[in-house]
Structures are given as structure tokens and as C-alpha cells.
Structure 1
Amino acid sequence: MRTTSLGLLGLTLALAPLAARGASEGPKFALPLACQIGRSCEVQHYVDRDPGPSALDYRCGHRTYQAHNGIDIRLLDMAAERAGVDVLAAAAGRVVRLRDGVQDISIRAPGAPSVAGQECGNGVVVDHGDGWETQYCHLARGSVRVKVGEEVKAGQPLAHVGLSGDTEFPHLHFTVRHAAQVVDPFAPDMSRPTVCRAQPNTLWTAAAQRQLTYKAGAVLNGGFASGPVTMAAVEEGGVGPPTATTPLIAYARLIGLETGDVIELVLTGPGGQVLLQNQLAPLTSDKDQYVAYAGKKPPAGGWPHGAYSAEVRVRRAGAVAITRRFTATI
């Protein structure tokens, strides 16, 4: 999805140029979502820092896309979105623009309406003074709880994460601007935008920075199922668990995969015996998200009672770049 800035009366997305020197002297921003990175949410995309036709994040990785002007923090699935997750003011300020009333629907859904001119969906813009502002997009319809002109404190709920505007999964698109120019809060000095050097003066608070440690990719969801797993089922949070008499399928939805990555799935039984070790063919293209699964039919008499585990590994350039283990009891 692509987002732009909130217009004076509406919330359209006009991509501003990236800021240069001096932006690192701005306010400090807290995590703008009431979630825990790695447990209930993950960063999907970073700011595109490449001024040309390519796309590079602040670590010169590919976890962004052309002209992406913010940070996308996504929920794990639609079940989490329906439960309601607060979008939070990243710093104290005054609400200067907002929009509500845009439908919550994936742009991939059959019959989804056009979002032209409303790519941000439902959104809020907060002015922090001295030319600094933050923008919050894809909010849930009817959830905005602030008004234009209202003073807000850091951490104050603004709305819920939704699926409005130009998006196909529930997430917050968070943009920082200074003097109408986009600033990357991870690396605010844009004087040499494609140099992947550490920038100690980020715009995040220390607590937010600890959560937002850069990842080469991540496992968004994982576990066990009783049959083949689809992206739609994982997104809905509706994957059925296995039983003693059904197939035992280990699955993982991964994000931030790259061309050449090799995914491995290892399934282990209650006694520690390896039931299955499966290695997929190297990926032929980058993948924003990808579902991998593998499993076995039950033995005669069903699966023995006990704890089963699965481990997913992603090998990149010969080294393990992503790994996670899941357990379940049958």
C-alpha cells in the first residue's frame, strides 16, 4: 500500500521530499501503537531512503518500496484488528487535521471501492510545534476519538488500527514530517541517504528504540493446523488446530523475505524424534509476506499424546536470518 499526507479538508497522500540535515534535533517519539513488537505486531515497511527508482530502508535492506514515506506497523491478523488496538499519539501536540468515515475493507476484496484521494483512509495529523508533525493512517472507521484543535499527550489514544484506505492488511502507517518534508525517525540525517551507517540520534524514545530494533525479516504467525494453510485463513485468524486423528501440519507466515531465501520446516514429536524436515526451493523473488507449511498424516491409531514442536528457519546467503519455534500439545 502507498500513503500520502492528510490534506487540509481530507487526507490525501502527497509524497514530500525527504528532509536533510538538522532533522535529528526534533522531538522524541514513543511507539505509536499499543502493541509489543515481536509478539502482537511487527514492522512491515520502513521509509524508502533511495532518492532514485530503487527502494532502500535505513539499513540498505529491501523492507520498503518505492516512495514509501512512513513506517508500517501491522497487527498479526484480522482477529486482533476486530478486538481493537489503540493508535497512540507519539508525542504531545495539537490535532490539526483528521478524517473518519472511510470503509474498513482490503483493496484486494471483491467490490472494494476506489480509494483515490483517500489513500490514507481514516487518519489524524498532530502538530508538535517548530514545524514537526506526525500522521496516522488506516484507522478503523468510527474509532477516531479526538477533535481538530484538541491538545493531546504522548501515549494518548487517538483511534483504533483499521483497514481503511490503500491497504490490504490491518496496520498503522506512521509518518514524521518537519517543515513539510518526510523524516525517517530511525535515521533522521538524510544528507547521505543511502549510506548505511548507525545514527545514534534517532527520533525514538529509548523505550521505543528497544522495541524497534531492525530485523532482516520476521515470522508473523505460526503454529499447527489440521490441513493445508492459506494466506486468507491465517489473516482471518481462523486456522483450525490438529487432533490426534488429523494430519499434523506446521505452518509459518513470514514477512520481509528476499530472493534466494531458503525456508526450512522441522517437525519434532513428543520424544524428540524428528517427524519431518522439509526444505523449500530458493525464492525467485522478494516476498512481503509468504506462507510456508509442511506436515504428515497421522499414524495408525493416531498421534501419541504429548508436546509437538516445529521450527521454521530462513537461510539467507548461507546463514540463518530468521528462526522461530512453536509448540502444541495433542
Structure 2
Amino acid sequence: MPHPSGRLRTFALSVFATLSFGGMAQADGPPFDLPVDCLNGVCDIVHYVDHDAGPEIRDFACGTTTYDGHRGTDFSVPDEATMLEGISVRAIAGGTVAALREGVEDIDSGRLDKGNLEGIECGNGILIDHDDGWQSQYCHLRRGSIALKKGDRVSRGQLIAEIGMSGQATFPHLHFNLRKDDQLVDPFSGSAMGASNQGDCSVDNAVLWSSSARAQLTYNDITLYGHGFSMARPNASDLKRGYGKEPELPNTAPGLYFWAYLIGANDGDVIRMSLQTPTGKGGHRDFVIDLPNDQGPRAKWFFINMDRPGDVWPAGMYHGEVTFTRGGKAPRQIGKSDLTIR
């Protein structure tokens, strides 16, 4: 069986280069509410702010759920199909819309020439001024979802847009930036980008978030972005669109593939893909990550497959499981899926 792997790439996002910002409005400030409505199983934080000043990477908890130079927090949704359902983006506090952009197409930027995105890396976005020099920025919003204009007042928790994939984004997510007096601040550490040291690391940090926001936050050292069964070999583009998550297949399906797409892979990590048939047959394969820090996100996809044993598959329930091991710690299951073949 081949050893497939794929990559998601996002990039450090620029402020709206072509827009000018007005003065700060007296409005509202920390602690802030979450900018998304979709945690607890629908959304995941897949990248935090990078606090390492050099070529290595370090998030607020001294983990590697970030990439080199990443300037914000990425809230992802599982695929484009979920995005099209309409996932709310909300103002983290009251304030005034200082700038916005609308009209950028939602498309995987990996399929575009980089020159097509110059000056619009943030895609459709909103910049809001809050109290005491605080600003929040919301990027990659879904085209047509922004129902605001520059100068509008917004209240804490107000619906301002939907998560999209516009600008320099290769999967549906919200890229969220927070600034104080024009300096980027990590809402988890409460410090400027690069100012958090290793002595401050804790997965419990969430110092600028409200109590209701903190109750919804769980630190992920690796994210299972998606997993499922398909009858043909999947590819990264299809997986990000939401294909390959079949709950049921016919017994004449030509093949059987169990796949997983992970974000946050680290050197030495072991990903075990297991597949079990209703007759007790099956097996597993271990994928050992050999991934130097290449100044980009660490996203990969894997699969294990079986050939049809004869004219038809045995009827019943098929089980797939994803197990993750890092740094000599005990393996842990991070995903499972069942498939019925009739």
C-alpha cells in the first residue's frame, strides 16, 4: 500500500493593505467572547499564535499547534459542506466597524496563483475597534455573509458574518487577530506575539477570554480534521469538500478505504490506522511522521485500504480507528468511524 500524504497551507495574513482605519471608538473590552458559534464538536482551533522568535514553533502552551510566524488563531470547520450550512462569526465585544472587505470568492487558494491574492490575503474581512485601543480582525469570511458597513456599531455577540474560505486560505476557517494599540496580542497568553516565554506555558491559559468562552475551549496538541470511509482512494481536495464520509456502501463497492486528515503532525508522531471487518479480519498500519520544520502548517492525510474479497463484500459493520502517539506517551484513540455494507 502506498504511503500517501497531503498538505494544507495557510500563511501569515496581512492587515487590509488597501483600507485606511479611523480613530478608536470607546466601546467594550476584555474579557472577550469567542468569535465563533461552532465549538463543542463542530469547530476546532487548529493553529494558535506562534511565540517562537526564530525558525522553530511554539504556541502559548509550549506545544506545536501553530506554524512559523502565524499571527492569529484559526477556528476551522470540518469541510466546505459544513461551511455552506452557514457557521456564525460574532463580535467578541461591542465596538465600531473600522474597515471591511466583501466580494472575494471562497476557493482553495492552493489552486490559485499567489499574485491573484496580493493585497487581499485576508479575503473577506472585518476590523472592529473596541475600547482602550483594542481591535479585533476576522478573516476568510464567506462571500455575501457580511451585513455591515464601515462605521456601523456592533454589540458583543452580534452576528457579523459567516466562516468562509476567501483570500489566502486552503480550508474553511476563521483567522482571528487581536491587537492592543496596534500590537498583536495572543488572547490565550495575554502577551504580545513572541513575548510569551516557556515558563508561562499552560494549557489552561485563556486569560483574555470570558468565563463562557473558557468553558468551551479545549487545547488540542493535534487535530483530527476529518476521517471516514470511501469506496475509492480519496484525495485532499475531495476530503476538504466533505466527500468520503460514507455511512453505508453497497456490497459491490470496488474498494474500501478508511482515511484520516490531521493538522499538527510533529516529528516522531505515530499515526495508526486500523480497519476491522465484520468477519473479524483486518489489520493496521503505522505511519511515523518525519517532518522537519518547513515554516508551514503540519497537515497530512493517511489511509488504509482493502481489496474486495471476491464478487461482494461480507455484509455487516466495518470499523475504522485512528490512534495517535507522541513523545513516548501512551497511545490514545483520537477518532473512530463505522460503515455498514449491505
TM-score class, shorter: 0.7 to 0.9
Q: Which amino acid aligns with 1:64?
A: T
Name the counterpart of 1:275: 282
- Distance change >3 Å, CA 200–CA 161, structure 1 → 2: closer
Deviation for aligned residue 1:240: 6.8
**Larger displacement relative to structure 2 (83-92 or 126-135):** 83-92
Whole-angstrom CA distance in 2 between matches of 1:93 and 1:57: 28
Q: How many residues align?
A: 314
1:126 to 105, 125, 128: 128
Aligned partners of 2:229 and 2:258 also within 8 Å? yes
- Residues 1:220 and 2:225 are matched in the alignment: yes
> Structure 1: how far apart are the matches of 2:88 and 2:161?
6
Partners of 2:267 and 2:332 lie apart in 1 by 13
Match for residue 238 of structure 1 among 214, 234, 243: 243
CA distance in structure 1 between the partners assigned to 2:317 and 2:155 by the alignment: 46
In the other structure, the counterpart of 1:210 is 215
Gaps of 5+ in 2: 1-10, 22-28
The partner residue of 1:291 within 295, 301, 308 is 301
Q: Which position in structure 2 is the counterpart of 1:166?
A: 168
CA 1:33–1:324: 2 relative to 1, 3 Å: same
**Among 256, 265, 283, which residue is 1:257 paired with?**
265
Residues 91 and 155 in structure 1, CA contact (< 8 A), matched pair in contact too? yes
Asked if structure 2 preserves the Cα contact closer than 8 Å seen for 1:265 and 1:311, the reply is: yes
Q: 1:280 Cα deviation (Å)?
A: 2.4
Tell me, yes or no, if the aligned pair for 1:251 and 1:293 is still in contact at 8 Å: yes
Moved over 4 A (4+): 110-113
With over 3 angstroms needed to count, the CA separation of the structure-2 counterparts of 1:134 and 1:284, relative to structure 1, is closer
Shift of 1:312: 0.6
How far does the alpha carbon of each residue in 1:145-169 deviate from its partner, in whole angstroms, 9 at most, with x for none? Answer: 1122222122211112222222221
Report % sequence identity: 35
- Output the amino acid matched with 2:31: K
Equivalent position of 1:154 in the other structure: 156
Secondary structure in 1 aligned to 2:237? Answer: helix
> Pairwise CA RMSD of aligned residues?
2.3
Mapped partners of 2:206, 2:286: distance in 1: 41
- Matches of 1:193 and 1:10 in 2, distance apart? 34
Letter in 2 for 1:324: G
Q: How does 1:1-330 map to 2 (within 5 A)?
A: 1-7=11-17, 9=19, 27-37=30-40, 39-110=41-112, 114-189=116-191, 192-198=196-202, 202-239=207-244, 241=246, 242-246=249-253, 247-270=255-278, 273-285=280-292, 288-300=298-310, 302-319=312-329, 320=331, 323-330=334-341
* Structure 2: distance between partners of 1:84 and 1:113: 29
* 2:62/2:201 contact within 8 Å kept: no
Q: Deviations over 1:169-200 (max 9, x none)?
A: 11111011111111111110455434343365
- Partner SS for 1:265: strand
Partner SS for 2:240: helix
Q: Structure 1 residues 213-222 or 148-157, which shifts more?
A: 148-157
For residues 261 and 52 of structure 2, the distance between their equivalents in structure 1, rounded to whole angstroms, comes to 28
- Residues 79 and 236, structure 1, Cα contact 8 Å, conserved in 2: yes
TM-score between both structures, scaled by the size of structure 1: 0.86
> Which residue of the partner structure matches residue 20 of structure 1?
none
Kindly provide the CA deviation profile for residues 222-244 of structure 1, in whole angstroms up to 9, marking residues without a partner as x.
11111212111101112274431
Residues in 1 aligned to 2:267 and 2:121: alpha-carbon distance in whole angstroms: 29
User: Structure 1's 34 and 230: CA in aligned 2 closer, same or farther, altered over 3 A?
Assistant: same
Provide the rounded CA distance (Å) in 1 between the counterparts of 2:302 and 2:311: 28
Separation of aligned partners in 1, 2:317 and 2:33 = 39
Higher relative contact order (CA 8 A, sep 6+): 2
The separation in 1 between residues aligned to 2:337 and 2:212, in whole angstroms, is 27
Per the TM alignment, residue 112 of structure 1 is displaced from its structure 2 partner at its CA by: 6.6
Deviates more, 1:65-74 or 1:235-244: 235-244
The DSSP-based 3-state class of the residue aligned with 2:298 is strand
Q: Is contact 1:4–1:69 with CA below 8 Å preserved after alignment?
A: no
**C-alpha distance in 2, partners of 1:10/1:113?**
22
1:114 shift after superposition: 2.1
* Code of the aligned partner of 1:197: C
